[in-house]
Structure 1
Amino acid sequence: MRFHQLSVLSALAAVPFADSESPLPPPWHNIRVKHTWNAVPPNWEALGHPPNGTTIDLHVALKPHYENALVDALYGAHLSKEQVAQLVAPHPDTLELIKSWLGHHSVPSLSISTTHGGSWLKLTGIPVSQANELLGASYQVYRRIGTNDSTILRTVGYGLPSVLHSHVQTVIPTTYFASTGTLRQIPQRRTVGETANMATRERVTSLSTREVEVNPSVLRSLYQTAEYVPAATDRNMLGVSGFLESYPSPADLREFMSECREDAIGATFEVVQINGGEYDPSKPDAEANLNLQYTEAIAFPTPHTFYCTGGGISVDDDDNEPASDDMWLQWVYYVLDLEDIPQTISTSYGDYETSLPPEYADTLCDLFAQLGARGASVIFASGNDGVGKGDCLVQGASGVHFIPGFPASCPFVTSVGGTMDIPESAAPFSGGGFSNYFSQPPYQSVAVPAFLRQLGDKYDGYYNAEGRGFPDISAQAVNFFIIDNNESYSVEGTSCSAPTVAGIISLLNDYLLATNRRPLGFLNPWLYGIGIDGLNDITSGSNPGCGTDGFMAIVGWDPVTGLGTPDFLRLQSTLASFPR
């Protein structure tokens, strides 16, 4: 790994934020647009300006002094929290400019705090009128059309003084309007018939027909994990992200294990509440139960942590104060601030790129890269809408455009698509395609062009041929048996495949740690390199959407099933030379 000479972090933190003005202040009124929508995003309606006295917390992401240092670190040794903070620290001149800008607008120094080595600023309790002045914005109250959802404070456009554009990556919250519900990846529920008893489920250890119920026995046999016994449970950890008041139930987990894996009936998990996130196990949710039940069933007895994270920025009707902060940001903030983070993290939530300002998506993607640099394997479901939902006529554009999902499209996460049946084929809902925000990363320089050559001119103009392709890998995603609120039924979606893959990766990390080697960390360079020898190529099926047949699964990588599905024993054999 190539290391950079960096200024000492404490020197950055020592830059004072005072109320005094600079002797020769830059032209703070020369505001240039940072991001704007042409109109209020679809499915949202403006309810007018907030009442006088409404305040908002603003998060300002600053650009790092050494732009490529973090990406370089992803391909080298894993770093500590302090080392990563140094890699992403801004130039001292950046903090001086921000100080002058905020001083010009009389933002009190007590309202300003720095995080992550000065790479982020938080402006607490800023009057909306002052936020409008700072950002050339017009914050209003919005609500999803036809719902009783909480209202949110947003602006359809904002800017920054021209001199700050090269220093500030994004400001949150501004123009991010989540799509109609941040996407849970479970589109369908299927009731389990009374004849589908446990004896039947236990006998099915390999699939040979369509529509057989999938349970841990099936997956552990199919993906070759059944014989591995974790040996580094004192060091290895697995984290599962939870949002939108989705809670797992310990009682449901016990019942699930008693039916599906009796030797793991003692499985437990720690709950961490972030950003005001609640936890009420008496009101469990299928999403959270599915995620925990399958990571636990595969990786037991590896310690698990479930993160209950409060969501969105909404206005409390009683006092007009923002009720909470951005759920993605607060969750990543929390995990990055830990001295020891889980070696494997599974998340089954996402949104559409078309709902996200590019700077916002880029900022979050960089934060996921920080997790990878710390040694975490960050896994996201690829989505359940194939190449896109609906007619895919993007506002302000002409013709059909496939709609990529995010964070699945971030090049610094491992995106997991879906398969079904044996022999495995692509699940028709498996999210996949090409990012419009992120360019093709180096690790895809062979795999993705090979697919595009076979695709030819089909769908020209529908997708960005130079974008990051996703998913990276896949796993079973149809007809998963779960226990939810003491009820048995089956579900499908990439929310099934993501925790399945996370459990398998956690076992690989256990193997590495038990043999005194570092964990896998950022997976993709390995998967697209020697790791491909441990994957089952999926060559049939497609992911229709946007009124098209979608992409086809073919030999090699494809934007339906990625590189294929995991074989634990073969993946384990590729790690023989993994560094100590």
Structure 2
Amino acid sequence: MTRIISLTALVAALAASSAARPSPHTHVVHEKRGAISARWGDAMRVRPDADMHVKIGLSQSNLHRGHDMLMDVSDPSSENYGKFWTEDEVHDMFAPSDESVSAVKHWLASSGIHEIRITHSDNKGWLAFIASGNELENLLHTDFYEYVDSETGDKAIATEQYHVPKHIQEHIDYINPGIRLPYLRKRGAEARSKRSSISKIYKPPQTRPAPKFGPMSANTTGCDKLITPDCVAALYNIPPVSVTPSPNNSLGIFEEGDYYAQSDLDSFFTRFPSYKIPNGTAPTPAFIDGAKAPQQYAGGESNLDFMLAYPIIYPQNITLFQTDDSYYAAGYSEGFFNTFLDAIDGSYCTSCYAGECGNDPKDPVYPDTNSTSGYKGKLMCGTYKPTNVISVSYGGAEDAVPQYYYERQCNEFMKLGLRGVSIFFSSGDSGVASRNGCLGNSTIFNPGWPASCPYITSVGATKLPENRTVTDPEVAANDPAGHPYSSAYATGGGFSNIFGIPDYQADAVANYFEKHNPPYPYYNGSKLGENGGLYNRSGRGYPDVSANGDNIAVYVNGESSFSGGTSASSPIFASIVNRIIDERIAAGKSGPLGFLNPILYKNADAFNDITEGTNSGCGTDGFSTAPGWDPVTGLGTPNYPKLKEVLLNA
């Protein structure tokens, strides 16, 4: 019987066969692709004379030393504490070595691609050149094919695997074109109507109508029902601002796909006149890749961040890092945070790590040709100086992005810490799970991203239970569905599946396991769910600290509302730290505090310990709070006078 094979299937089979062709014994496979989507079809061999724009990402230097170098400037017991690096010093430390540049250039020249054809990027991370299809295939001992996306018609050039000389492999991270195919996008209308599963993961569980209060004077009664600025100040002993704010100390707040409304801010300022925040007060824009704000109709996230931060820090300034044009910000791309990191560190635009160089296929592409209103400028690289403190209330789960994507971002947070930047992330709103759900058979706990990165300060959420006052202890935020939000909400916390326990929290985590051992089976290391384990006992624990995140008073689209989530906790804690930096500057000290976790874990007495509550999820009660650090509320909530004393004297 004659067997009929489709042309597409035949070409694909031939492509796989030729891509795996033998290579010299002097070479090794550098990257090999797994299965690809059936949408990538009609593969046609690249013409021998086709122009191939090639980029070789050179391996960064000294990443293995990054942790120790960060601890050297972040640990108060170090003689180099607070001696932060310049941007150029950071770039030079992690740039590819001269040895790598020389070795790769020599290999290219010996293969017929002479140095005169090669461009070396300004930040030293890339070697780029144009080669014919035949030259590139001979260089990498593989065959390249042009694939076509059957749904959108998008084209992409790739191979199944490629080879490099054994002695060159350590100097190269990634070659493009290589094995990767772009992220599969949806057609225009469908793409714009469906938000990404990654974008805005940490959003308030929901807002709900609140009583229409008039102007309020200082009042801390009823804080168990409505958390106002006065309640926040009373809970954490935050005094009125007493020093002249430094013009060089603006609080940074990140937003994407969500926008504040000035009219809502003005309504909020009017409602709480004791803070004397004039109508029209607004953040300084740091718009990234075509972003715009404010907008007439607000999102709950941006309003929440600013309505919590301004009463704590005013008259300090806020810098708004608003990212991406409306097309990408609406959820078109799965990429997240990379354009933000590009904009505050130009080296991130082209740096390489674990196979990702520059933009990942998941990231927005600029100039934006997918939308008539898209940003037509070049991708912003190093456009803005990062502020001393940055608060981010967005994120997802560790399994939401590839491990290399997360690790590269986490390394960037390490580099920002070396430069003196303090970065706070919300810990998530789904307890030991995530909005992506649980792992394995839906029982294994799913850690948060970037909340579990060891180089940021992760902030969990607390609440003031009914019938308690601001002088009573808070508890872990954990609200079942319908009480009061339509969806369940529990403060995020747990242990990373990617990062090990960092030294600065090793004693705290060991104490928790020794004295308050969770009642769940666990696994150690990277084998998910081994022996029926539900969490990785050898992983980085989070959150590090907490702040209130429930029943928060806000205005959204002209209406007074309640809101909640760890989205509230991060800007509260970040605002407190930014206030203390102004106190340091006024006292004649250097302002930036950099990566805070080492000093925070050494000064647990500066926190209000939370010992009541859990963070349920994955069909369990989750972890339990306990005296000392715990994976529900971390070290606890801030006590402003005590934290100020610690950080002022550091």
Common topology (TM > 0.5): yes
1:384 to 2:429 alignment: yes
Alpha carbons of 1:371 and 1:501: their partners in 2 closer, same or farther (altered >3 Å)? same
| Deviations, residues 462-516 of structure 1 (Å, cap 9, x unaligned) | 1111111110001111121222233322221111111111111111111112112
SS at match of 2:386: coil
Q: Is contact 1:156–1:174 with CA below 8 Å preserved after alignment?
A: no
Residue number in structure 2 paired with 1:459? 521
SS at match of 1:402: coil
What's the TM-score once normalised by structure 2's chain length?
A: 0.70
Q: Is contact 2:428–2:434 with CA below 8 Å preserved after alignment?
A: no
Residue number in structure 2 paired with 1:95? 101
1:248 to 253, 257, 260: 260
SS at match of 1:575: helix
CA distance in 2, matches of 1:290, 1:412: 25
1:416 to 2:459 alignment: yes
Aligned positions of 1:150-299 closer than 5 A = 161=164, 166-168=170-172, 180-193=197-210, 195-199=211-215, 202=217, 204-205=219-220, 209=224, 212-243=225-256, 245-261=257-273, 262-265=275-278, 267-279=281-293, 281-299=295-313
Alpha carbons of 1:424 and 1:254: their partners in 2 closer, same or farther (altered >3 Å)? same
Q: What is the one-letter code of the residue matched to 1:190?
A: T
Q: Is contact 2:41–2:149 with CA below 8 Å preserved after alignment?
A: no
Residue number in structure 2 paired with 1:75? 72
Alpha carbons of 1:107 and 1:533: their partners in 2 closer, same or farther (altered >3 Å)? farther
| Deviations, residues 397-427 of structure 1 (Å, cap 9, x unaligned) | 6783211111111100000011111531111
CA distance in 2, matches of 1:439, 1:402: 16
1:528 to 2:528 alignment: no
1:363 to 2:408 alignment: yes
SS at match of 2:319: strand
Q: Is contact 1:418–1:497 with CA below 8 Å preserved after alignment?
A: yes
Q: What is the one-letter code of the residue matched to 1:419?
A: T
- Identical counterparts, % of pairs: 28
SS at match of 1:264: coil
Q: What is the one-letter code of the residue matched to 2:616?
A: P
Alpha carbons of 1:362 and 1:164: their partners in 2 closer, same or farther (altered >3 Å)? farther
State the Cα distance separating 1:49 from its structure 2 match.
5.1
| Deviations, residues 324-377 of structure 1 (Å, cap 9, x unaligned) | 995422211221336853111011111211122222211111111111111111
| Deviations, residues 193-250 of structure 1 (Å, cap 9, x unaligned) | 3x34135x656426664xx11121211221121333342322212111122x322233
1:427 to 469, 472, 477: 477
Q: What is the one-letter code of the residue matched to 1:335?
A: I
1:517 to 2:589 alignment: yes
State the Cα distance separating 1:69 from its structure 2 match.
4.7
CA distance in 1, matches of 2:131, 2:296: 37
Q: Is contact 1:437–1:467 with CA below 8 Å preserved after alignment?
A: yes
Q: What is the one-letter code of the residue matched to 1:198?
A: G
Structure 1 range deviating more: 508-517 or 455-464: 455-464
1:407 to 439, 442, 450: 450
CA distance in 1, matches of 2:448, 2:133: 31
Structure 1 range deviating more: 345-354 or 50-59: 50-59
CA distance in 1, matches of 2:643, 2:634: 16
SS at match of 2:265: helix
1:333 to 2:342 alignment: yes
Alpha carbons of 1:475 and 1:35: their partners in 2 closer, same or farther (altered >3 Å)? farther
Residue number in structure 2 paired with 1:475? 547
Q: Is contact 1:35–1:157 with CA below 8 Å preserved after alignment?
A: yes
CA distance in 2, matches of 1:206, 1:129: 76
Alpha carbons of 1:489 and 1:525: their partners in 2 closer, same or farther (altered >3 Å)? same
Q: What is the one-letter code of the residue matched to 1:412?
A: Y
State the Cα distance separating 1:455 from its structure 2 match.
1.3
What's the TM-score once normalised by structure 1's chain length?
A: 0.78
Q: Is contact 1:380–1:416 with CA below 8 Å preserved after alignment?
A: yes
SS at match of 1:284: coil
State the Cα distance separating 1:130 from its structure 2 match.
11
Residue number in structure 2 paired with 1:121? 126
State the Cα distance separating 1:83 from its structure 2 match.
1.4
Q: How many residues align?
A: 526
State the Cα distance separating 1:165 from its structure 2 match.
5.3
Q: Is contact 1:225–1:568 with CA below 8 Å preserved after alignment?
A: yes
State the Cα distance separating 1:313 from its structure 2 match.
11
Q: Is contact 2:445–2:535 with CA below 8 Å preserved after alignment?
A: yes
2:578 to 481, 503, 506: 506
State the Cα distance separating 1:276 from its structure 2 match.
3.3
Alpha carbons of 1:293 and 1:158: their partners in 2 closer, same or farther (altered >3 Å)? farther
| Deviations, residues 243-290 of structure 1 (Å, cap 9, x unaligned) | 2x3222333222221113441125321112223334452343221222
Residue number in structure 2 paired with 1:309? 323
Aligned positions of 1:13-24 closer than 5 A = none
Q: What is the one-letter code of the residue matched to 1:290?
A: L
Q: What is the one-letter code of the residue matched to 1:455?
A: N
SS at match of 2:268: helix
Alpha carbons of 1:390 and 1:325: their partners in 2 closer, same or farther (altered >3 Å)? closer
CA distance in 1, matches of 2:394, 2:163: 31
Q: Is contact 2:29–2:161 with CA below 8 Å preserved after alignment?
A: no
CA distance in 1, matches of 2:129, 2:302: 32
State the Cα distance separating 1:93 from its structure 2 match.
2.3
CA distance in 1, matches of 2:544, 2:394: 17
CA distance in 2, matches of 1:475, 1:175: 40
Q: What is the one-letter code of the residue matched to 1:188?
A: P
Structure 1 range deviating more: 371-380 or 398-407: 398-407
SS at match of 2:286: strand
Alpha carbons of 1:364 and 1:214: their partners in 2 closer, same or farther (altered >3 Å)? same
State the Cα distance separating 1:126 from its structure 2 match.
11
Residue number in structure 1 paired with 2:19? none
SS at match of 2:540: strand
Q: What is the one-letter code of the residue matched to 1:166?
A: E
| Deviations, residues 428-459 of structure 1 (Å, cap 9, x unaligned) | 21111111111111101110111122215623
Q: Is contact 1:391–1:546 with CA below 8 Å preserved after alignment?
A: no
Alpha carbons of 1:556 and 1:55: their partners in 2 closer, same or farther (altered >3 Å)? farther
CA distance in 2, matches of 1:311, 1:29: 44
Aligned positions of 1:539-554 closer than 5 A = 539-554=611-626
State the Cα distance separating 1:149 from its structure 2 match.
12
Q: What is the one-letter code of the residue matched to 1:182?
A: S
Residue number in structure 1 paired with 2:485? none
Residue number in structure 2 paired with 1:300? 314
User: Any gaps of 5 or more consecutive residues in structure 2?
Assistant: 1-22, 74-82, 185-194, 346-381, 479-489, 523-532
Alpha carbons of 1:55 and 1:256: their partners in 2 closer, same or farther (altered >3 Å)? farther
Alpha carbons of 1:187 and 1:98: their partners in 2 closer, same or farther (altered >3 Å)? farther
CA distance in 2, matches of 1:295, 1:154: 47
Q: What is the one-letter code of the residue matched to 2:401?
A: L
Alignment root-mean-square deviation, CA? 4.3
Residue number in structure 1 paired with 2:642? 570
Alpha carbons of 1:83 and 1:202: their partners in 2 closer, same or farther (altered >3 Å)? same
Q: Is contact 1:34–1:160 with CA below 8 Å preserved after alignment?
A: no
